[in-house]
Amino acid sequence: MEISEKTSKKKSIAVVGAGIVGINCALALQSQGFNVTLLDQQGIGEGCSKNNAGHFATEQVFPLADARLLWQLPKLLLDPLGAIALSPRYLPQALPWFIQFFNNMRSKYQQKNTLALKALNKNAISYYLPLLQQAKAEHLLTTQGSLLVFETTNLTVVKKSHQHYQQAGVAVKLLNSEQVHQLEPNLHKNINYALYFTEVAHTVSPYKLSLALAQLAQDKGMVFKQFTLKNITHTANKVLLNDGQQALTFDKLILATGAWSKKLCKQLGYNLPIEAERGYSLSLTTQNNDNNKSSGNENIALLSRPVASTERKFIITPMDNELRLSGTVEYAGLYAKANYKRATMLYKNAQFILDKLPTDKHIAKQDKWMGCRPSLPDSLPVICQAPQQDNIFFALGHQHLGLTQGAITGKLISQLIMKQPTDIDIKAFCISRFN
C-alpha cells in the first residue's frame, strides 16, 4: 500500500529518528512552515536521548581520540567493569572503527576536529533558549555550570588541564578543595581540586525536554508516526520510505537515526563508520524519611550542578526526581544484551565523590538504563546534504554530545534546506569525509 502525503504548496519532509536531534530538526523545519512528519520505530525520545546525563557540555571541545588515552587504554580495558569495555567477540567488527579512531589522534586531525567542535558548541545552549521559552519549558534548563573534580591527580596536571581548556576559549575556573566544598558542600573530602565550567548547563530531565520540544512541534502542525524505516528509494524530487508493509512519500528526507544509521546510509551509497558507544545510567529516587514518599528535593539539595569525576570517568547530575549517575563506554554492538552491572558499578564510584550518597534504606527506586551513543571516529557529527541527492539530509553521529548540539543541529539543517547561509561553517561535518 502506498500512502502519498497530501499535495500541498508546502514541501513535505520526513524526519526519521525522534531522538533529541531529530526532534530539533523537525521543530526547526515545522517552524519554517514545512509539513513535517517525524517517524520513529519507537516512541518520541525513547532512544539514546532518554536517560542520559542531561549535561549541556559545551566545554567538551576536545575530540575523544586523544593520544593520552593510549596509555590508559590497557588498564581501562582489562577491568571488566572499568570505564571502557570491549567485548572480545565484537573486536573484529569494531576494529575498522578503532583504526580510524587511532588515526584521528594525530595532532593535525585533533586540531582540525577541535576547531569544528568549538564552533558547534560555542553557542549551542543559546539555540535552546527560545525553543524552551516557546514550549513553556524553561524550568527544564538550569544554568549553574558544572564541575570536573580531581581526587588523586596532582596539581601540575590539573593546572595543565585548566590551561588547555582556557586556551581553547572555554570559560573555566580552577578551584582548590576549600572552594570546591564551598560550592558543593556534599562532595566527599577526597576531592582536592575542580575545574568549574561556568557557562554550561544541565537539564533536570532530558526525556521531558525531548517531549516538550516534540509537543511544541506538534502544536505547530508536525505529525508523529511510529514507523520502522527499512528501505529508501528516491527520485530527483521525491523520497519513498518503506517499512516492509507500507510506503510513505515525501519531498525531502532527514535521517536522524543516531547509532542505527549505518545500514540506511549504505542504501543511499554512503559509508558511515558509526559505532554504538554504549553508555549506562543509574537513576536513584530517594524517599522522604517522614512519610516514605519519594521526593526529588533531597537530590537538588545534595548537588546544585553536574559533577564529573576525572579519575572515575562518570558524571552525577541532580535531576527532577532523582540523582543520576551516568557514564562508561562499552563496545559490544547495537544488539548485545545490556550488562546492567555497568550501571550498578556507578554507585560504587559515586561513594568516592559524594558524601551522604543515599543508601539502600533511602532509595525508593533505582532505574538502570543503557543507551547507544552514535559515535564516529573523529568525534564530529554528520550534518549535511547528501552529496549525491538533493532531497536527502543527514543529522546524526553526535556521540557524547547529542543533547548539547541538538538545537544548533536543527537550525543548521533548516538553513541547509532553505538554502540559506549556515550560522557556522559546516564543511567539517559532511559525510563525504568518509567517502
Ligand X SMILES: Cc1cc2nc3c(=O)[nH]c(=O)nc-3n(C[C@H](O)[C@H](O)[C@H](O)COP(=O)(O)OP(=O)(O)OC[C@H]3O[C@@H](n4cnc5c(N)ncnc54)[C@H](O)[C@@H]3O)c2cc1C
Query: Where does this chain bind ligand X (CB under 6 A)?
Result: 16-22, 39-42, 46-49, 52-55, 57, 228-229, 256-258, 260, 279-281, 326, 371, 373-374, 396, 398-404
Which residue's CB is nearer to ligand X, number 22 or number 318?
Answer: 22
* In the complex, least distance from residue 393 CB atom to ligand X, rounded to whole angstroms: 14
Q: Count of CB atoms within 10 A of residue 230's CB? A: 14
Compute the least distance from the CB of residue 50 to ligand X, in Å: 7
Compute the least distance from the CB of residue 81 to ligand X, in Å: 15
Q: Identify which of residues 354 and 401 has a Cβ nearer to ligand X in the complex.
A: 401
CA torsion 117→123→124→129, rounded to 10°?
180
Q: How far is the CB of 250 from ligand X (least distance, A)?
A: 14
Residues in contact with 92: Cβ distance below 8 Å, sequence separation at least 6, in sequence order: none
H or E segment to which residue 262 belongs? helix 261-267
Minimum CB separation of residue 225 from ligand X in Å reads 10
Q: Which residues contact 249 (CB under 8 A, 6 or more apart)?
A: 2, 3, 4, 5, 12, 238, 239, 240, 241
Q: How far is the CB of 205 from ligand X (least distance, A)?
A: 12
Phi first, then psi, for residue 245 (nearest 5°) are -120, -40
Phi and psi of 201, rounded to 5°?
-145, 175
The nearer residue to ligand X, 20 or 302, going by C-beta atoms, is: 20
- Give the nearer residue to ligand X in terms of CB position, either 11 or 55: 55
Nearer to ligand X, 190 or 430 (CB): 430
363-375 and 2-4 as β-strands: parallel, antiparallel, unpaired? unpaired
Residue 85 to residue 117: CA distance in whole angstroms: 25
Nearest residue (CB) to ligand X, 145 versus 371: 371
Considering beta carbons, is residue 326 or 385 the nearer one to ligand X? 326
Smallest separation, CB 178 to ligand X (Å): 28
Sorted by sequence, the CB contacts under 8 Å of residue 25 that are 6+ apart come out as 15, 254, 256, 395, 409, 410, 413, 414
Nearest to 298 by CA among 178, 383, 186: 186
Given the C-alpha cell 547509532, which residue does it identify? 259
Nearer to ligand X, 243 or 355 (CB): 243
Which of 307, 293, 291 minimizes the C-alpha distance to 349?
307
**Minimal distance, residue 258 CB to ligand X, in Å:** 3
C-alpha atoms less than 13 angstroms from C-alpha of 377 in its C-beta half-sphere:
19
